[in-house]
């Protein structure tokens, strides 16, 4: 074989993904994602550098900042072509502008470079293909968030590589499960966020969440669901609106703007009508006078931030936490340093003097595949598959997934490179 896969970011970590794929016969290669991570102080961290002149192009798998947030930095001096989907451009732009507002001091590009990047994009639908310097690129649905894509690359010397970005293999209310590209693949570069765990049965989780909401609202309480503004908010909204259309639902935070992108790009949703109806049923919180009113009657408030690091969700929490009849339902990953994690562990947020008397719950509505789902992607290419490279996961998750793949596919080589390392195949 003749390819080199260099991990620039996301090696042994979740965040700032960057993978450089080069055909050994060529000087130029493809950059697959170029995202930011954040340090303990919230300062952005970039992946390792790659020379703009070495780029045949960039492919962005989806709009999360850990996959797209560093990409505009190439547009200060050059204009590489970027291949992605329309929702990724639209959602990514909102998230990047928001990050620039907060962290521009640490970032070497401005909105101008973001616009330059968007103007350099080649927009593909799922199933679409394009050639850049003899690299053939095709996208299919990754099942993770709106517009998220699995990327297939046929290299100039004929190697077939799949880069998964983040993926999910179960159907959710808003997004259909990942659809592996038909055909053969030699090498997979796969995320491994939950490579060591199985998620509980999705359908059962959804049912318990709906029951918890119903019980609280029937008891005259308000349910606060802090949720990420991209994906999780729209998912929870669609779930509750379709299962309980009679309940008052309020949507607050950046998810309001993101939901408009969802609506504009509804063909990327599993059931566009379901989402459209959910958004019609929901009350959009417009301003502070709305915000001060919405928790006065039984209902559900869906608001950012998902880990309670800020946003209107914190305001609502302060108002609702003290009463037994209310409920706070967390539905997102809670990092160890987050207030959301603290509240689940201790029942309060010490710094803010919040002690929660309301019911406190967490439901696993992950948008990432668990161990079995990830393994199934590898099994899908049994026969042609020769190597799997694990990224976007901590070392424990990568080790466990590596073990599962080794057991199921003993002839396939599994690699877990760190940042700055490369695999030559
Ligand atoms: Zn993601
Ligand atoms: Zn990610």
Residues 177/151, Cβ–Cβ less than 8 Å: no
Give tens-digit pLDDT for 179-197: 998 899 999 999 999 999 9
**Among all ligands shown, which has an atom nearest to the Cα of 168?**
1
Neighbours of 172 (CB within 10 A): 23
- Span from the CA of 91 to the centroid of ligand 1 (angstroms): 12
How confident is the model over 194-243, as pLDDT tens digits? 999 999 999 999 999 999 999 999 999 999 999 999 999 999 999 999 99
Residues bordering ligand 2, an ion, CB closer than 5 Å: 66, 166
Residue 142: pLDDT band by 50, 70, 90 thresholds?
very high
**Which residues, 6+ apart, have CB-to-CB distance to 188 below 8 Å?**
161, 162, 163, 164, 377, 378, 381, 385, 387, 388, 389
Give the separation between CA 384 and CA 184, rounded to whole angstroms.
6
In this predicted structure, what is the pLDDT of residue 332?
A: 83
pLDDT at 87 over 90: yes
Cis amide bond preceding 305, omega within 30: yes
* Spacing, Cα 402 to ligand 1 middle (Å): 21
CA of 294 to the centre of ligand 1 (A): 31
| Nearest ligand to the C-alpha atom of residue 148 | 1
Task: Quote the ligand 1 centre to 292 CA distance (angstroms).
Answer: 33
| Nearest ligand atom owner, CA of 228 | 1
Q: At 421, is the secondary structure helix, strand, or coil?
A: coil
What ligand is nearest to the CA atom of residue 9?
A: 2
The domains found in the chain, sorted by start residue, are: 3-197+367-424 (3.60.15.10), 202-362 (3.40.50.10890)
Ligand having the closest approach to the CA of 62:
1
- Provide the sign of the torsion angle of the four alpha carbons 297, 300, 305, 309, taken in this order: positive
Q: How far is the CA of 188 from the centre of ligand 2 (A)?
A: 16
Centroid of ligand 1 to alpha carbon of 247 (angstroms): 30
Q: Report the pLDDT averaged over residues 123-137.
A: 98
Tokens for 194, please give them: 């939950």
Centre of ligand 2 from the C-alpha of residue 350, in Å: 30
pLDDT for position 42? 82
Q: What's residue 396's pLDDT?
A: 96
Compute, in angstroms, the gap from residue 369 CA to the centroid of ligand 1. 11
Does residue 41 surpass a pLDDT of 90? no
Closest CA to 199 of 23, 383, 374, 68: 374
- Which pLDDT score, from 0 to 100, does residue 356 have? 97
Portion of the chain with pLDDT greater than 70, in percent: 100
- Given a cut of 70, is residue 382 above it in pLDDT? yes
Ion ligand 1, residue ranges at CB < 5 A: 64, 166
Q: Which ligand is nearest to the CA of 37?
A: 2
Q: What is the pLDDT of residues 297-313, one digit of tens each?
A: 999 999 999 999 999 99
Q: Which ligand is nearest to the CA of 18?
A: 2
Ligand 2 mean position, distance from CA 37 (Å)? 10
DSSP E strand stretches across 15-68: 18-23, 29-34, 37-38, 44-45, 55-59
Given a cut of 70, whether residue 245 has pLDDT beyond it is yes
Say if residues 387 and 354 touch (Cβ distance below 8 Å).
no
**Which ligand sits closest to the CA of 66?**
2
Looking at the predicted structure, is the pLDDT value of residue 1 above 70?
Answer: no
Interval between CA 64 and ligand 1 midpoint (Å): 5
What is the rounded CA–CA span in Å between residue 311 and residue 254?
9
Question: What rounded mean pLDDT belongs to the chain?
Answer: 96
Distance in Å, CA 166 to ligand 2 centroid: 6
pLDDT value of residue 385: 98
Q: What's the CA-to-centroid distance between 190 and ligand 2, angstroms?
A: 11
pLDDT at 223: 98
Q: For residue 256, how far is its CA from the centre of ligand 1 (angstroms)?
A: 19
Distance in Å, CA 15 to ligand 2 centroid: 6
Res 244 pLDDT > 90: yes
Chain centre to alpha carbon of residue 206: 19
pLDDT of residue 77: 86
């Amino acid at each position: 074989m003749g390819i080199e896969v260099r991990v620039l970011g996301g090696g042994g970590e979740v965040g700032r993904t960057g993978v450089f794929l080069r055909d050994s016969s060529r000087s130029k290669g493809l950059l697959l994602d170029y995202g930011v991570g954040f340090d303990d102080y919230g300062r952005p961290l970039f992946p390792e550098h790659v020379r703009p002149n070495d780029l045949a192009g960039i492919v962005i798998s989806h709009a999360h900042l850990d996959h797209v947030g560093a990409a505009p930095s190439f547009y200060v001096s050059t204009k590489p072509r970027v291949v992605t989907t329309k929702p990724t451009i639209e959602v990514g732009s909102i998230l990047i502008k928001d990050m620039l507002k907060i962290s521009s001091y640490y970032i070497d590009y401005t909105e101008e470079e973001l616009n330059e990047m968007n103007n350099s994009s080649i927009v593909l639908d799922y199933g679409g293909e394009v050639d850049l310097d003899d690299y053939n690129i095709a996208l299919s649905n990754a099942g993770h968030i709106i517009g998220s894509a699995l990327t297939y690359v046929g290299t100039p010397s004929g190697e077939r590589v799949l880069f998964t970005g983040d993926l999910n293999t179960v159907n959710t209310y808003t997004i259909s499960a990942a659809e592996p590209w038909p055909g053969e693949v030699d090498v997979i570069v796969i995320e491994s966020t939950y490579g060591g765990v199985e998620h509980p049965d999705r359908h059962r989780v959804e049912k318990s969440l709906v029951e918890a909401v119903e019980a609280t609202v029937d008891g005259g309480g308000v349910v606060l669901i802090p949720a990420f503004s991209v994906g999780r908010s729209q998912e929870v909204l669609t779930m509750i609106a379709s299962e309980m259309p009679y309940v008052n639902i309020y949507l607050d935070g950046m998810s309001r703007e993101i939901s408009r992108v969802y609506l504009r790009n509804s063909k990327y949703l599993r059931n566009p009508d379901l989402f459209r109806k959910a958004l019609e049923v929901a009350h959009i919180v417009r301003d502070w006078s709305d915000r001060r009113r919405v928790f006065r009657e039984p209902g559900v408030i869906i608001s950012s931030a998902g880990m309670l690091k800020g946003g209107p969700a914190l305001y609502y929490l302060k108002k609702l936490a003290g009463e037994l009849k209310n409920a706070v339902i967390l539905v997102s990953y809670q990092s160890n340093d987050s207030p959301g994690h603290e509240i689940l562990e201790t029942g309060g947020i010490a710094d803010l003097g919040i002690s929660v008397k309301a019911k406190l719950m967490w439901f696993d509505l992950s948008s990432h595949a668990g161990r079995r789902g990830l393994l199934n992607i590898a099994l899908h290419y049994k026969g042609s598959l020769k190597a799997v490279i694990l990224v976007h996961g901590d070392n424990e998750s990568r080790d466990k997934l590596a073990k599962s793949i080794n057991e199921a596919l003993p002839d396939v080589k599994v690699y877990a490179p760190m940042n700055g390392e490369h695999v030559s195949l």
